[in-house]
Amino acid sequence: MTERELRERDIKDAVKSRYAKAIQGSSSCCGRSVSQEGTQADSCHAPAIVEQKGGMVKIAGYDQGELSRLPADALQNSFGCGTPLAFAGVGPGQTVLDIGSGAGIDCFIAAEKVGPTGKVIGLDMTPEMIERARQNAKVVGLANVEFRVGEAEKMPVEDTSVDWVISNCVINLSPDKPAVFGEIGRILRPGGRISISDIVAQDLPEAVRQSRDAWTRCLAGAISEETYVRGLEKAGLRDVRVTSRIVYDASQLKGLFGGFCCGAGAGQDAAALADAAAGNIWSARFEGVKPQPTSAAAEVTVEAAKKGDRSAIESLLTEEGLPTDVASHLGDFLVARHHGRVVGCVGMEIRGADALFRSLAVIPDYREAGIGRRLYDALVENALRKGVQKAYLLTATIVSLAESWGFQRLARDEVPEAIRDTAQFRGECCVSAVAMWKDLTAQPSKCCSCS
């Protein structure tokens, strides 16, 4: 074994040993550790309000209804730092893989979402955890959950076999994160998605970074958000972003450090370390998607929206945070369709020779394949056919893209009144959006070198 392999093995053994002990009822990492003041500093789920970069936020905890249906032991032995399933994306019939599933809490929640036709695989390298999770599954009689002993860096899971990868407070513990990210890219189906909650950190005190104890407590191995996002992108995922954060304050960190963390050789106690690290350690939820291959994008058709497309368009717009008043404009909407499924849309509201272009959206796994451009081109064609000469739009996100399509910025009060009178211009959603316009009848300027 190389020195690096020995170090990685040593870290994994320490992590395994901590979790084997934790499940037997002793100390925990990101779970219910008791702070020095004797209060429960459950830094993962408990506090209702925490300080967060950019303001105070209410933590979205586990849904109480969901929790009440889980085995009590799975709750007592949850060591997570977030709620990767606190959203509606996982659906019936899908396959979910939970990396570092512990006693099974998120697997049991996922099992309910995927239903009897779906499947959940819990993966954990600590045999004691797997054993406990299996017992818990028996208690609730779940037949659609399977637990496998295995390492995140080399998962015993088939290529492109999984719709969702979830994980809760695990990847920080891995000494080889690029290998874990690579495995995620390998096992996801095209279009498959991730929702991963994990501890991230920046500028940690050296005493913490060097401590094996701190590693097993989900601290020393934590990487920055940027490194996490880059790692996942390198593994082929796209649209990788942080969708929520829980930033720990000093008293919560004291709980995580466990009162004795990292002190021995370093001469620093947990309280001082917690003060030094406060604000630099948080739990982040990462979401992202494995894109469809270009061949799938070639099968996408762009066509007029049908009546039955309305709810698909509305949910697409809701996901994008765009106005959803579609009903009365459906006749001027186009959709991108793949095997019957709406994967993108765009629309317009016509006012004489002017039109408001709006609602351009493509679902994440179909992005970067030119579908947005095809929707736009088809919209221009329709607009010209209907006598539109000038197009206007409001955008906060695609200013440069619109510029590349020939749109120019203009002051809102220069926009024709009939366009300013549309719900989008009047609505609160778009107050800070940039107004742009384009003369659709103008010929594109001729390039000098290509006659």
Ligand X SMILES: C[S@@+](CC[C@H](N)C(=O)[O-])C[C@H]1O[C@@H](n2cnc3c(N)ncnc32)[C@H](O)[C@@H]1O
- Name the site residues for ligand X (rule: CB under 6 A): 15, 19, 29-30, 78-80, 100-102, 105-106, 124-126, 129, 151-153, 168-170, 173-174, 218
Q: Which is nearer to ligand X, 33 or 78 (CB)?
A: 78
CB of 79 to ligand X, least distance (A): 4
Q: Which is nearer to ligand X, 169 or 284 (CB)?
A: 169
Q: Which is nearer to ligand X, 98 or 354 (CB)?
A: 98
CB of 153 to ligand X, least distance (A): 6
CB of 29 to ligand X, least distance (A): 5
CB of 104 to ligand X, least distance (A): 8
Q: Which is nearer to ligand X, 100 or 205 (CB)?
A: 100
CB of 71 to ligand X, least distance (A): 13
Contacts of 378 (CB under 8 A, 6+ apart): 302, 334, 346
Task: Supply the angle between the helices 225-234 and 177-187 in degrees, to the nearest 10.
Answer: 40
Nearest CA-CA partner of 309 in 276, 284, 342: 342
CB of 328 to ligand X, least distance (A): 46
Q: Which is nearer to ligand X, 192 or 221 (CB)?
A: 221
Task: Supply the angle between the helices 127-140 and 105-114 in degrees, to the nearest 10.
Answer: 40
Contacts of 446 (CB under 8 A, 6+ apart): none
Q: Which is nearer to ligand X, 168 or 252 (CB)?
A: 168
The type of residue at 411 is A
In this structure, the number of other CB atoms found within 10 A of the CB of residue 93 comes to 11
CB of 385 to ligand X, least distance (A): 55
Measured CA to CA, the distance from residue 44 to residue 81 in angstroms comes to: 4
Q: What region does 168 belong to: left with phi over 0, alpha with psi -120 to 50, or beta?
A: beta
In this structure, the number of other CB atoms found within 10 A of the CB of residue 411 comes to 7
CB of 40 to ligand X, least distance (A): 16
Q: Which is nearer to ligand X, 196 or 305 (CB)?
A: 196
Structure tokens at 398: 């695609």
Half-sphere exposure of residue 169: CA atoms within 13 angstroms, side-chain side: 30
Half-sphere exposure of residue 217: CA atoms within 13 angstroms, side-chain side: 25
Measured CA to CA, the distance from residue 292 to residue 364 in angstroms comes to: 9
CB of 164 to ligand X, least distance (A): 14
Do β-strands 341-351 and 333-338 pair in parallel, antiparallel, or remain unpaired? antiparallel
Measured CA to CA, the distance from residue 59 to residue 344 in angstroms comes to: 32
